[in-house]
A and B are shown apart, each in its own frame.
Chain A
Amino acid sequence: SQQGEEDPQALSIQEGENATMNCSYKTSINNLQWYRQNSGRGLVHLILIRSNEREKHSGRLRVTLDTSKKSSSLLITASRAADTASYFCATDASQGGSEKLVFGKGTKLTVNP
């Protein structure tokens, strides 16, 4: 079964606004990774946050992690039309060096110009 569940499933905003996407998971994790996918193409890695970290920034991206609530959020500030894509969270709960990722269902973000 899916480890991560994103919400909302779809989000439509205007250029310049902020977009927040949430991800919940079920078991203890080693880290959580966020990815972007444009129009069914390959996945672009955005940010990795470890279980002992609470917040990370990368440019206009801010990721938080709350292990007590088993949830993470991805904030995109000052959105642009080029941010239109699907965003996925993926959790690494691997043990014994398996390195497996389990993906959530994703949030489809549309940024209107």
Chain B
Amino acid sequence: SAVISQKPSRDICQRGTSLTIQCQVDSQVTMMFWYRQQPGQSLTLIATANQGSEATYESGFVIDKFPISRPNLTFSTLTVSNMSPEDSSIYLCSVRGRLTDTQYFGPGTRLTVL
């Protein structure tokens, strides 16, 4: 299995500001995934982050709004830029385990935008 930590666990932010969420994995992984879960909803994939290349964004998500860094094989950051109340969600980092198809999730970052 993979152990994933995220920082911060929660935050309350003002409209128009930006927040950077960190994701740390206990083993080297090729791909890291960022998901969003809006209140009462399911998870939606924002982007896939590969080390050494630009992230691949899903339809409806753009790099200017959700810039992602992937400096090495165990770490990634997601920034939520120019936030509005509609960005209030749980943001989750995910990786696939080594030698397995199982995908593991971090504890999530609960973001509230006022």
The residues of A with any CB-CB pair to B shorter than 8 Å are 2, 30-31, 33, 35, 40-45, 48, 50, 88, 90, 92, 98-106
Contacts and interface: CB of A to CB of B under 8 A. Distances in A.
Q: Which of B33, B43, B92, B94 has the most CB of A within 10 A?
A: B43
A41 B42 contact: no
Contact of A99 (B41, B96, B107): B96
A37 B42 CA distance: 10
B101 A88 contact: no
Interface of B: 31, 33, 37, 41-45, 48, 90, 92, 94, 96, 100-108, 110
Given A92-B101, A99-B103, A101-B103, A2 B96 contact: no
Contact of B110 (A2, A40, A103): A40
At the interface, is chain B mostly helix, strand, loop or mixed? strand
B99 to A, nearest CB: 13
Contacts of B45: 100-102
Contact of B48 (A100, A103, A105): A100
A88 B108 contact: no
A90 B103 contact: yes
Nearest to A2: B42
